[in-house]
Amino acid sequence: MTNKPLIAVAAAVLVLGGGFLGYRQFGGASLAGYLDQNINLGATVPPETDCGTAPTHDRIVCLADMLKSGLDPELLAELQRPYSLAEAKLWSNFPPMGFTERVGPTLGDFSPEQRALIKAILQDAASLAANEGYDELEQVLNADDYLLAETGEAGFSSSNYHIAFLGTPAATGTWQLYFGGHHFALSNTYRDGKMVAATPSFRGVEPFTTFTMNGRENQPMAQEQAAFASALSALTPDQLTKATLEGTYTDIVAGPQKDDAIPTDPKGLNLGEVTPEVQALVLAAVETYVRDVTDADANTIMAKYKAEIADTYIGFTGTPTVTAENDYVRIDGPSVWIEFSMQPGRSLPGVHPHSVWRDKSADYGGNRD
């Protein structure tokens, strides 16, 4: 961590937009003191409970009930909300100073014991594979703590990530686990005890290079970039030409509040024209997104995407190494839509990625306006 001027500002918690307590300005103590209060999810130990140990929907419901039972009424009302597609759509890549409409309390609004339950819920809702699922989430949050340490800019912090239950977690009915903040959106929709969607799913990180924060090395999206580069490097020159999209993409197309932006006419290289080996490399790139969810759910989703591979396209602009500013790659299938965009650094030198995984039929659990 580099030395930064200590910032002392009066204690303040902003009430912003549609959020609950909003994001925190540095309060009372110095920036260093504030960092000492870093929530550090990685160091948080999930509690032992009577909810069982297998990462099932029943266990998530049990943990959610435990969390809710210990909350004061105001915090509970913000966490447990009626199911609302409109609120499900309030996700963003922006930090809280750029997007103030997220719903639910932030991690900083909970006690350490309550955050331990939240960590258990997030772990059960995601995979436990290294650099994917929960581990990816933890590293993206660490990146925000790193940005705060490096820039001193209020708004960056792992404490500013929102969680909400849209609908009541239960064995029957529809609900969504909503979790998100800067560079992260998790949207797991459950219906009658089963996960029916894990999208829209946004991931981004700055810095993109390896950084040390909260006691660990972090590079949560290197696997996605490497998988895309590997798939593109396996294409023949003719296939690369076919895969090259017209124009330039400085960002993803189907980002937040752009639910209708996916082109209806796929562009790029039809994967029905490539060898099984290349198809496997593209599917490996897809898996860096789908494997963010539990194995059983990921297997179901991947089976669908594999069955549709011959009608799926890969397209890119920029360089096929996917390492330079404005490099862009997308996978466009009958169901799957994945974009990866390498962009200039916002707060630090270098590039950083934005990426989204959508499912054309399953986003938001298939719910439509």
Partner 1 sequence: MIVLASLALSSPLAAHPLPGTEIVISVEPARLSLTLTVPYTDLALAMANGLPKSTGIAPLPAEVEQALATYFAQHMAVAVKGQPAPQLTLSRANPERATHEDIGAYTQLVLDFSAPLAADRQVFPLTLTYDAVIHEIRNQSATVFLQSTGQEAVAIGEIKLDPATGKVAPLTVFGP
Q: Which stretch binds partner 1 (CB under 8 A): 52-60, 123-131, 227-235, 251-259?
A: 251-259
Residue with tokens 């660490």: 142
Residue placing its CB nearer to partner 1 in the complex, 130 or 368: 368
Terminal C-alpha separation, the chain: 46
Which pair of structure tokens corresponds to residue 73? Answer: 């009424």
How many Å apart are CA 61 and CA 66, to the nearest integer? Answer: 9
Residue placing its CB nearer to partner 1 in the complex, 291 or 354: 354
SS3 (DSSP) at 337: strand
Residue among 7, 14, 262, 284 that touches partner 1 (CB under 8 A): 262
For residue 261, state whether it binds partner 1 (rule: CB under 8 A): yes
| Total residues interacting with partner 1, rule: CB under 8 A | 36
Closest approach, Cβ 110 to partner 1, in A, equals 26
For residue 252, state whether it binds partner 1 (rule: CB under 8 A): yes
Q: Which of residues 87-126 bind partner 1 (CB under 8 A)?
A: 90, 92-95, 97-99, 101
Closest approach, Cβ 358 to partner 1, in A, equals 13
Contacts of 21 (CB under 8 A, 6+ apart): 13, 15, 105, 106, 108, 109
Which pair of structure tokens corresponds to residue 348? Answer: 């630090």
Q: What angle do CA 63, 66, 69 make, to 5 degrees?
A: 150
Residue among 344, 350, 361, 366 that touches partner 1 (CB under 8 A): 344
What region, left, alpha or beta, does residue 326 occupy, with left being phi > 0 and alpha being psi -120 to 50 degrees? left
Choose among 197, 127, 186, 158: nearest CA to 23: 158
Distance between alpha carbon 273 and the CA centroid of its chain, in Å?
32
Closest approach, Cβ 98 to partner 1, in A, equals 3
Residue placing its CB nearer to partner 1 in the complex, 4 or 306: 4
Choose among 213, 336, 239, 228: nearest CA to 288: 228
Closest approach, Cβ 343 to partner 1, in A, equals 6
Length of the chain: 369
Residue among 184, 249, 340, 364 that touches partner 1 (CB under 8 A): 249
For residue 244, state whether it binds partner 1 (rule: CB under 8 A): no
For residue 258, state whether it binds partner 1 (rule: CB under 8 A): yes
Q: Which stretch binds partner 1 (CB under 8 A): 54-62, 141-149, 192-200, 338-346?
A: 338-346
Residue among 139, 223, 239, 343 that touches partner 1 (CB under 8 A): 343
Please check whether residue 201 is in contact with residue 188, taking contact to mean a CB–CB distance below 8 angstroms.
no
For residue 361, state whether it binds partner 1 (rule: CB under 8 A): no
Closest approach, Cβ 17 to partner 1, in A, equals 9
Sign of CA dihedral 240, 301, 287, 216: positive
List residues near partner 1 by CB under 8 A: 90, 92-95, 97-99, 101, 204, 245-253, 255-258, 260-265, 267, 326, 343-344, 346-347, 354
